[in-house]
Amino acid sequence: MKQQQIKTRPHCPFCGDEVAQPQDQDQRKLGEFKVGHCQCGAVYACDATGHNIGSAMIEALVYACNDDWELAWELLPDQDYLTGRVESYDEITHQILEQRHLDGRYVRGVLYFVRLQKEITEIAQQRAEQKRDYLPPVEPERDPARPRQRADKKEVQRLALAGDIDGLVALTFDDVRTLRFLQRLLYTPDDDQRWWLAHVIGQVCARVATRQPGVVSDLLHRLFDASSDSAAANWGLVETMGSIIAARPDIYGAFARHLLRYINHVSTRPLVLWALGTVAARRPDLVRANQFYQLFNLLNDSDPLVRALTIRLLGRAGAREVGERLQALSREQTPVTIYEEGRPQTITVGDLAAEALKMTEKVEQA
C-alpha cells in the first residue's frame, strides 16, 4: 500500500510560528539564496538543493546582520546567535514533505535559521543606521544588448581630469579595463592631479561596487601589491586606497587595517594618516578597532603635516583620550595643505586641533 504523503507548512524552530515563503533580496547578486524573516526576529535562507548548507548558513547570518559582513564574521555561534534548520522543504510549493518527493521529483530543500541575541541585534541595527547615511543607490541595470564602449587611455584620462564620474562609471561597466587605465594615470609627478585622480577613482568605485564589487576588490588588491614596492608607494596608491575604502566602508572596510603597514615609512606616513582620517569621517569605528592609540605619539612629530593629519584623524575618530594635547596644539599657527575631495585646502594646525576638540567633545557628550 502506497504511503500517504504528509504535507505541512514550515514553522520557525524558535517560536513555532508559520513562516512565509523566502524571497529574493532587494539587491540580489549572483549566487545568493532566497531569504525571509520570522516575527520573533529570526531570519532564514533557503537552500533548495540541500547541498549548500554552509553557504546558506553564511547567507542567513549576514542577512541577520543587515548585510554587515564585518560584524557577521566577528560573531560566535551559541554565544552571539542561535541556529536551526527545517529539512524536506519544497521551495516551489512552500511545504514540508516528509516523503521527500512530489510529482516524480525529489525534495531536498533546507531552510536554515539564525536568530541573533538581543544585544547583537541592537548593534547590527545601529551599524545599519550609520551606513544609510552614505550608501549610494544601486546603479541601474545596463541593457545587455547595448553596444558596448571600449576603453582607451586617452578617453579615460579626459573623463577623469574633467571629473566625469557618470562617464567613467558607464565606461567601466562596458569595459573593466577602465579601472586599470585609471590606476596607470596615478603615476604622475603633478601632486594636484594625482590627488584629484585618487578622489575620482574612489567615487567611480563607490558606484561600480553597487553592481560589481568584485572588480573593485581586485583593484584594491592590485594597489596594495604595487604599494609593497617602496619605489612605487608615493605615486597615488595609498591615497587612492583610502578614497575607495572611505567611499564604500561597508564593503571594503576590512582593508583599512592593512594601511597601517605603511605607517612607519616617512614617505608614506602622511598618506596613511590622510587615508585613515578620510575613512574615519564616515566610519570612525573602523579606525578605532585597529589599535589607533598607537598613533597618539604622532601628535608630537617634528613634521607639521604629520601632526595636522594625525589631528584630523583622531578628531574624526572621536579620540577623547588626547583632549589635553589637542588643546595645546590649538595654539599652533603653522599652515599646512591638506587635500579634501581631491582639492588642496590650506589650514593651520591650530584650527584643525580646535575642530578636532569639538568632535571629541560631541562624542563625550553622546
Question: Does 1 map to a domain?
Answer: no
> Are residues 25 and 109 located together in one domain of the fold?
yes
> 203, 235, 201, 232: which is closest to 219 by C-alpha?
201
pLDDT at 71: 86
Cβ neighbourhood burial of 216 (10 Å; 0-12, 13-18, 19+): buried
Please check whether residues 176 and 225 belong to one and the same domain: yes
Is 197 a domain residue? yes
Strand partners, 34: 46
Tell me how far apart the alpha carbons of residues 147 and 174 are, in angstroms, rounded to a whole number: 9
Write down the pLDDT at residue 29. Answer: 46
Q: How far apart, in Å, are the Cα atoms of 235 and each of 88, 194, 214?
A: 57, 8, 24
Give the global pTM. 0.69
Percentage, residues of the chain above pLDDT 90: 66
Residues 78 and 167 in one domain: no
Count of Cβ atoms closer than 10 Å to residue 30 Cβ: 5
Within-domain flag for 267: no
Residues 154 and 116 in one domain: no
CA atoms within 13 A on the CB side of 22: 31
Residue 148 lies in a domain: yes
Pick from 9-18, 20-29, 185-194: least confident: 20-29
CA distance 157 to 228: 25
Report yes or no on 85 lying in a domain.
yes
Instruction: For residue 258, give the C-alpha cell.
Output: 592593512
- Total count of domains within the chain: 3
> Of 132, 161, 195, which residue sits at a domain end?
132
Cα(169)–Cα(156) distance, rounded to whole angstroms? 11
Is residue 280 one of the residues assigned to a domain? no
Per the structure, the complete domain to which residue 245 belongs is given by: 139-260
Task: Yes or no: say if 181 and 219 are a contact pair by the CB < 8 Å rule.
Answer: no
Q: Is the pLDDT of residue 30 over 50?
A: no
Task: State yes or no: pLDDT of 235 exceeds 90.
Answer: no
**Which of 132, 159, 191 is the last residue in one of the domains?**
132
In a domain, 285, yes or no: no
**Domain for residue 2, yes or no?**
no
What is the spatial distance between Cα 203 and Cα 163, in angstroms, rounded to a whole number?
10
Q: Which DSSP letter does residue 143 get?
A: P
Listed range (38-47, 66-75, 236-245) with the worst mean pLDDT: 66-75
Q: Is the pLDDT of residue 257 over 70?
A: yes
C-alpha separations of 163 from 75, 166, 204 in Å: 41, 9, 10
Last residue of a domain, one of 132, 148, 181: 132
- Rounded to whole angstroms, the Cα distance separating 245 from 242 reads 5
- Of residues 14, 11, 39, the one with CA closest to residue 95: 11
Q: Are 12 and 113 in contact (CB under 8 A)?
A: yes
Same domain, 119 and 186: no
How far apart are alpha carbons 262 and 41 in whole angstroms?
Answer: 43
Beta bridge partners of 106: 101
Compute the distance between CA of residue 217 and CA of residue 209 in angstroms, rounded to an integer: 9
Question: Of 117, 112, 123, which is closest to residue 43 (Cα–Cα)?
Answer: 112
Judged against a pLDDT cut of 70, whether residue 2 lies above it is answered with no
Mean pLDDT across the chain, nearest whole number? 89
